[in-house]
């Protein structure tokens, strides 16, 4: 999910990036600069989702975590509205121990999905 990156697509409406669940995230300027350079070289080829996936892969490799192929050629969303992030992401103060099932099960995530999403990576235990 790339709900935390997108800039506003609707004038006057705050973007997903500006929603409460995403206010703790940093590094948007770096991603914007990478995206701008890629757009100059290859317009409309590499998505922000691809950039984030490749950065995440490289961080895992650099921290000696498990690695594998990362699919690319994702498509960015066509809209970015603050309410989408509020509806689909938990807030930074979310109590995972108490509310995990209540929040994620209605979204179609089972217990294993939730552990993968929020759990401690096995190489860090």
Give the pLDDT band (50/70/90) at residue 7. low
Cβ pair 7, 48 in contact under 8 A: no
At residue 108, the pLDDT reads: 86
Spatial CA neighbour of 25 closest among 46, 55, 45, 50? 55
The tens digit of pLDDT for each residue in 35-59 reads 889 889 988 888 877 888 888 889 8
Task: Please provide the DSSP assignment of 30-80 as one string.
Answer: HHHHHHHHHHHHSTTTS-HHHHHHHHHHHHHHHTT-------------S--
Give the pTM.
Answer: 0.58
């Amino acid at each position: 999910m790339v709900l935390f990156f997108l800039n506003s697509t609707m004038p006057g409406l705050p973007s997903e990036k500006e929603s409460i669940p995403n206010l703790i995230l940093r590094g948007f300027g770096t991603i914007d600069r990478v995206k701008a350079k890629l757009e100059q070289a290859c317009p409309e080829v590499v998505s922000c989702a691809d950039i984030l996936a490749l950065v995440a892969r490289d961080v895992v490799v650099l921290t000696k975590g498990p690695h594998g192929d990362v699919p690319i050629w994702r498509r960015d969303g066509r809209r970015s509205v603050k309410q989408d992030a509020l509806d689909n992401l938990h807030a930074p103060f979310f109590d995972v121990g108490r509310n995990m099932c209540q929040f994620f099960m209605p979204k179609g995530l089972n217990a294993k999905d939730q552990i993968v999403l929020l759990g401690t990576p096995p190489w860090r235990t």
